[in-house]
Copies of this chain bind each other. A is one copy, B any other.
Amino acid sequence: MPMTPTPKRVLPWLALPMQEWVRGYDRATLSSDLVAALIVTVMLIPQSLAYAALAGLPPQVGLYASIAPLLLYAVFGSSRVLAVGPVAVVSLMTATAIGDLAQAGSPAYGALAITLAFLSGGMLLLMGVLRLGFLANFLSHPVISGFITASALLIAAGQLKVILGLRVEGHNFFALVLGLLRHAADTHVLTAVLGLGTVAFLFWARRGVKPLLLRAGLGPRLADGLSRAAPVAGIAVTAALTWAGQWQAQGVRIVGTVPQGLPPFTLPAWDLALWQQLAVPALLISVVGFVESVSVGQTLAAKRRQRIVPDRELVALGAGNLGAALTGGFPVTGGFARSVVNFDAGAQTPAAGVFTAGGIMLAALLLTPALYYVPQATLSATIVVAVLSLVDLRILRSTWDYSRADFTAVVATLGVTLAVGVEAGLVAGVVLSLVLYLYKTSRPHIAEVGLVPGTEHFRNVLRHQVRVSPQLASLRVDESLYFANARVLEDRVNDLVATRPQLRHVVLQCSAINDIDASALESLEAIDHRLREAGLCLHLSEVKGPVMDRLQATGFLQHLSGRVFLSHFQAVTELTPEIAAVAA
């Protein structure tokens, strides 16, 4: 794999990243990009149709949404290999956001999808210009993980309905599963055979096709490329069978007529009341899409020692969604599967994306009549196989082992998403994880420490055999001090003073205190004041530079009843020499 030149410096923020790769573009890069584009195009055609169906939109909309966004991302994006277009979770969120406002498949529904893409694009662009990319960081990994898993299960359950040819209504996962079980007897057998057969074939194809092709004497590169065409093969075969048997007459639902032609020029609805209604879903779609896209982009960029610029990605994804809105599409983002395929197929520059867009455009112009007999159950089968790979229930086990707070966040996100819906689940997860974080920092670990004999180290008196003096108490606070936890320290010191009549000195070891806010400073002043009133002294040790700078700007250190020591050992040896003497 040829190494691309590494940029020597961070680009001035608004310069187009294109400049970086257009200059050195040569024949070898062109050939790599063209091969990658061909493979991605073949993979994208069925995927685009399927995700449009998942979003409740006509199939051609999936193709439209895979053209302009790819071109615009190539101009503005900072990743070399990210492929932008419809993805499963965002398609589900789109269906949820506009499902109650219009009948799926109707022109009004399409107009809503366009408006949603427009709003999402505008928000992403604005966040990029205002450099608000850090907001996405408030979606924790456990929340994202629980959300993606729950969304995948929701999508799979919804598609199973199509695969079995059932008409089940369900507002949440459990209602959907219950409905499927209750109406199982009404399964349309021919549809189910086609759909489940395709599912089985695709699961097998994941592992089975490549070795077969290799054994047949094909090169590994070609075998890999061909194995990715399994969904296309599945669609072609089931469409051919349906045509041969004219199964649509027997109730197998097919894609039907797909208009031929280039993407149309469209505009969003200029309706402020509607915008207000769609604002929250658009924001959630933007944030989820951004997080998914950036994590894919970062993973792939790092493999070649390249980098992506998150705020730049916001601009590029914003442009992509605005592009989708202007060309009859729906909300898009950088997809995991297609980007990895693009990378593995050897794409070197965003030109591969431009070529892919060209390929999809040709498909929209020429190929749509061939889609007439494709059974909807086959498209659903490709979705089910794709999304089930997103289900990751191991996160429950790993967070349980690692951190109960994270486990709680996963369970809440997963549970609320399945039981109520994608938007409620996401909001519940974010709010809960913030509340748990604040709760944790509001109850900091405060250890009373003593001298480990023969050393200058101090350790928790509850865990180690250490030397302490009844005249001196050493407290180590393992958290920055701020308003939510400052009083915990006050309470702890008050306890010490009330319960140890011999106490004369309290020393705070500040090595883990990264910040002291105004509330905590007042608490320290209150502690110092109370200690002084009771005839005791408050000392500090190992205060960090930046914290010391700020304390020195106040009167606190001048009025402190005790002193500030460089090291905790120094504090203890000077204040209670007998302890140090015994230790030495």
Does the CB pair B438–A138 fall under 8 Å?
yes
Could you give, for residues 273-305 of chain A, a 1 whenever the CB lies within 8 Å of some chain B CB and a 0 otherwise?
000000000000000000000000011011111
For A442, give its contact among B138, B299, B544 (CB under 8 Å): B138
Question: Is the Cβ of A521 less than 8 Å from the Cβ of B142?
Answer: no
Q: How many residues belonging to A are interface residues under a CB distance threshold of 8 Å?
A: 80
A550:B518 contact, CB within 8 angstroms = no
Taking a contact as CB atoms closer than 8 A, the residue among B10, B306, B483 that contacts A433 in the complex is B483
User: Which B residues are in CB contact (< 8 Å) with A9?
Assistant: 499
Contact B402 A483 (CB under 8 A): no
Pair B134/A442 contact, Cβ less than 8 Å: yes
Do the beta carbons of A519 and B298 come within 8 Å of each other?
Answer: no
A530 touches B299 (CB 8 A): yes
State whether A483 touches B141 (Cβ < 8 A). Answer: yes
Do the beta carbons of B482 and A437 come within 8 Å of each other?
A: yes
Say whether A214 faces chain B, with CB atoms less than 8 Å apart: no
Q: Are A302 and B134 in contact (CB under 8 A)?
A: no
Contact A137 B485 (CB under 8 A): yes
Kindly provide the distance from the CB of A477 to the nearest chain B CB, expressed in whole angstroms: 9
CA distance A515 to B514 in the complex (A): 13
Q: Say whether, besides A437-B482, A512-B512, A495 and B10 are in contact (CB < 8 Å).
A: yes
A486 within 8 A of B: yes
Q: Say yes or no: A517-B406 contact (C-beta < 8 A), given A433-B483, A483-B138, A546-B445.
A: yes
Answer yes or no: A533 CB below 8 A from chain B CBs: yes
Within 443-489 of A, Cβ neighbours of B (below 8 Å) are at: 443-445, 478-480, 482-488
Candidates B302, B307, B402, B491; contact of A554 at CB < 8 Å: B402
Contact with B along A410-444 (1 / 0, CB 8 A): 00000000000000000000000110011010111
User: Does the CB pair B518–A402 fall under 8 Å?
Assistant: yes
Q: How far is the CA of A485 from the CA of B137 in the complex (A)?
A: 7
Copies held by the complex: 2
Closest chain B residue, CB of each to CB of A496: B307
Docked-complex contact B544 and A299, CB < 8 angstroms:
no
What chain B residues lie within 8 Å of A402 (beta carbons)? 518, 521, 550, 553-554
Contacting residues, chain B, for A303 (C-beta < 8 A): 530, 533-534
Question: A139 contacts which chain B residues (CB < 8 A)?
Answer: 483
Chain A residues 7-63 with CB under 8 Å of chain B are 7-10
- The answer to whether A534 touches B302 (Cβ under 8 A) is yes
Q: Is A6 an interface residue (CB 8 A)?
A: yes
Q: Let me know if A368 is at the binding interface, CB within 8 A.
A: no
- Of chain B, the residue at the smallest CB distance from A139 is B483
Output the least CB separation between A536 and chain B (Å): 9
Subset of 16 A-B contacts with CB under 8 Å: A9-B499, A137-B484, A140-B517, A142-B519, A299-B526, A301-B494, A302-B533, A302-B534, A310-B487, A398-B554, A401-B553, A401-B554, A402-B553, A406-B519, A445-B514, A479-B514
Besides A140-B517, A303-B530, 19 other A-B contacts (C-beta < 8 A)? A137-B487, A137-B488, A138-B442, A140-B482, A140-B484, A142-B483, A142-B519, A299-B530, A301-B494, A304-B534, A307-B497, A310-B491, A401-B553, A402-B521, A402-B554, A437-B483, A438-B438, A478-B546, A512-B512
